[in-house]
Structure 1
Amino acid sequence: MGQDEVLTVRGLRKRYRGRRGVQANDGIDLDVRAGQVVGLLGHNGAGKTTLVNQVVGLVLPDEGTIVLDGIDAVARPGQARARASIQAQANVPITGLTPRLAIELVGRLRGGERSAVRTRAGELIEALDLGPWADTRAEKVSGGIARLTAFAMTVVQPGRLVVLDEPTNDVDPVRRRLLWQQIRRLADEGAGVLLVTHNVREAERVVDRLAVLDHGVVLAAGTPAGLTASRQGTLTVELDLLPGATVTWPDGVVARGSSRLRESGSVPAEDAAEVVRWAQRQVHQGAIERYSLVPASLEDVYVELVEDERRDAPAEEVAA
C-alpha cells in the first residue's frame, strides 16, 4: 500500500445466507487515495452499502482484503474504524440536541480540542447555510437540515477516510451545491473520500475517479473523462413531450430511455443539425414542449453499462 493510498480493497466477496442466498459483493477491487473523491455509483441494491459496511468494520467479508490507512480492517476492524468517518444513509438521532451541539459533541468525542472544534463547527454551519437552524432543537428541523447536520458531524474531525453514503438525500438544490463544495474541499485538504451515490450528474462535478457497481460487481472504473471517452462524438437528445403526444425518432437516433413525458436518445455529432430541424418541427406540430442536445455524459455511460449487464445476466439472477 503506497503512502498516499488510504483504502485498498481486493477480491471482496459477501453473500447473505438467507433463503435466496444473495451475492451482495462479488470480487470487488477498489482504491481511494489521499486527496481523491472516489464515487461509487449504483442503483439501490447494487451492493454499495454492503461494501461500505465492510470497509468500516460493521460486516465481515466472506473473502478478500481491506486495508484502511495501513490497517487490516478485516483482522482489526476497531482500529481501522477509528481512522474513518462515515455518514450512513440513516441520520444519527440527535433528539434533545441542537445541530451546533451535535456537531461539537462528535468533534470532541473524536479527540478534537474544544476551541478548534467550536471554530470548525462554526465554519461548517456557515458554509452549509445552517445558521438559522444551528441552535434549534433537532426535533424542529427538516429532513434536509438533519442531513446536512449529519454531514457536518462526520467531517468536523475527519478521519483519513471519509465515507459518505448518499449525503445529498433530502437536501434542497441550493444547499446541495454548498454540500458538494465541502465534499470537494475535504479531499483538497488531504482526506480520501468514498462517495456512495446514485446522483450521477451531480457527483460528476466533484469526483476524481468512479466505480460503477451492479449486482455486486464493478462494471467499470476510471476517471470521468476516461469512462466517457467511448462516447466522444456522440450527443444526447432529450425531449419533453406534451401530454398524450408520441414521437418516432428519425433515422440515426438510437433510443436510450423513455418515461411518461420524457424521451432520450443518442446521435452522432455530424447528424445533430438534422435532428435539431426534426425536433423543431415536432415543437411546431405540438408533439414536444422542448428539446436539448448535450454531449454524452457520465450518466449516459452509467445507464448503458447497467442495461448491458442486465441484458447479459441470467434470468434467474437476483440483484444484491
Structure 2
Amino acid sequence: MANDEVGLRVRPGEVVGLLGHNGAGKTTLVSQVVGLLRPHGGSIRVVGVDAVADPGTARRCVALQAQAQAPLDGLTPKEAIVIAGRLRGMSRSASRDAAERMADELDIREWIDRRATPDGGGISGGVRRLTAFAMAAVAPVPLIILDEPTNDVDAARRRRLWNMVRRLGDEGAGVLLVTHNVAEAEHVMDELVVLDRGRAVASGSPSQLRGAEGDEMRLELSLPLDAQDPSSQEPPFRFVRRVRNGRRVLLSLAESDAATAVAWATALRASGRVEGYTLTPTTLEDAYLAATADAESIHEESAHV
C-alpha cells in the first residue's frame, strides 16, 4: 500500500490513534517512521531529527511494537522485557523491577518465568503479544508506536493494556496507536487520523469526528436477507448520514427526531421489513465507517423530508 500526503503529529503526552481497514496503509506509514521503508517524498521528523536523512538517530527515540509477533523463542517474558530495557539504557536492576511491575499490571505473572518454545508452546499468543507490548513500553522514550497491540489478547487483559497506553501518554510519552479496534481504543485516544487507501480521510479528536454538538443519535436497522433498504424511500424524519454495510443500515439523526424514528422502525419490524433495530448515541465507529465508506458497497447520503 502506497501512502499519499499523509500528515499527522504526535505531541508529548498525547495518544494519537491511526485507524483504518486492513491494507489502508497503517503499517506502511509506521515502517516509514522507523526507517524500514523510505518515502518517495515529504518529511518525517522525530524529536526534531529528520528520520529520512538520519534514520538511526531517529530510531533511537522510538520504541516499536510491530504488528508481527516478537521473536521470543528460547526466552521467558521476564528475560525479553529485561533485554529490551537494557538495550534502552536501563540498569539491570531497574529493568528487572520494571519487568516485575509490568507483569503484574498486565496480569501475566503466571507466565513471566515460562520459556517460549519454537513450536509455539510455553506461552500463548496473547501472552507473547503482551510481552512485546511490555518490551516497547519498559523504558521511557519520546515516541512509542504500537501496531495492533491487542491482537490475540483476551478481553480482560486488553482492558489492562489500554489503561497502560493511557498512562504512558499521561506520563509524557507520545504514543502512536495503530488499530482497527475503534470501539475499545476510543477512550484512550486524544486525537486520531483515519487512513483509507493510503490517504488521510479524516482527523480530529474523537468528539470532533463523532460530531461536535454531541446530540446525534444512531438508528441501526437489521435487514432480512436480500431485503430492500427502507430508508431509501425517505422516512418521516431527516437524517444527516446513512451508511449501509451488508445487511446493516446505520442512520445518524437528530435527538429531537428519536421518537419519530422509533415509531417508524417499530412499524417496519411489525411488517417484517426489518428484523430488528437499535437506537443509541452516535459512536466513533459510525464516523469511522462513514469516513472510509466504499462507494461500491456502502452508501452515504443526506435525506430530506
Q: Tell me the equivalent position of 1:207.
A: 189
The question of whether the paired residues in 1 share the 8 Å contact of 2:243 and 2:293 is answered with no
Give 3-state SS (helix, strand or coil) of 1:167's partner: coil
Q: Tell me the equivalent position of 1:225.
A: 207
Q: Tell me the equivalent position of 1:306.
A: 292
Q: Tell me the equivalent position of 1:256.
A: 243
Structure 2: how far apart are the matches of 1:141 and 1:239? 42
The question of whether the paired residues in 1 share the 8 Å contact of 2:103 and 2:109 is answered with yes
1:116 aligns with 2:94: yes
1:275 aligns with 2:257: no
1:71 CA displacement: 1.2
Query: Is 284-293 or 66-75 further displaced after alignment?
Result: 284-293
1:30 aligns with 2:17: no
1:169 aligns with 2:151: yes
Cα shift readout 1:120-171 (whole Å, capped 9, x = no counterpart): 1111111111112212222322211111111011111142100001111111
Relative to its length, the structure with more strand (as a share) is 1
The question of whether the paired residues in 1 share the 8 Å contact of 2:70 and 2:129 is answered with no
What amino acid maps onto 2:53 in structure 1? A
What amino acid maps onto 2:12 in structure 1? A
Give 3-state SS (helix, strand or coil) of 1:27's partner: coil
TM-score (norm 1): 0.81
The question of whether the paired residues in 2 share the 8 Å contact of 1:235 and 1:294 is answered with yes
Structure 2: how far apart are the matches of 1:290 and 1:113? 59
Trace 1:26-175 onto structure 2 (pairs within 5 A). 26-138=4-116, 139-175=121-157
What amino acid maps onto 2:11 in structure 1? R
Query: Is 248-257 or 70-79 further displaced after alignment?
Result: 248-257
The question of whether the paired residues in 2 share the 8 Å contact of 1:166 and 1:198 is answered with yes
Gaps of 5+ in 1: 1-21, 312-320
1:238 aligns with 2:216: no
Q: Tell me the equivalent position of 1:15.
A: none
TM-score (norm 2): 0.85
The question of whether the paired residues in 1 share the 8 Å contact of 2:236 and 2:264 is answered with no
What amino acid maps onto 2:133 in structure 1? F
Gaps of 5+ in 2: 297-305
1:195 aligns with 2:181: no
Structure 1: how far apart are the matches of 2:230 and 2:127? 44
Structure 2: how far apart are the matches of 1:240 and 1:307? 18
1:274 CA displacement: 2.5
Distance 1:244 1:140, change over 3 A: farther
Cα shift readout 1:158-198 (whole Å, capped 9, x = no counterpart): 42100001111111111111110000000111100001111
The question of whether the paired residues in 1 share the 8 Å contact of 2:25 and 2:196 is answered with yes
1:33 CA displacement: 0.4
Q: What is the number of equivalent residue pairs in this alignment?
A: 287
1:246 CA displacement: 8.1
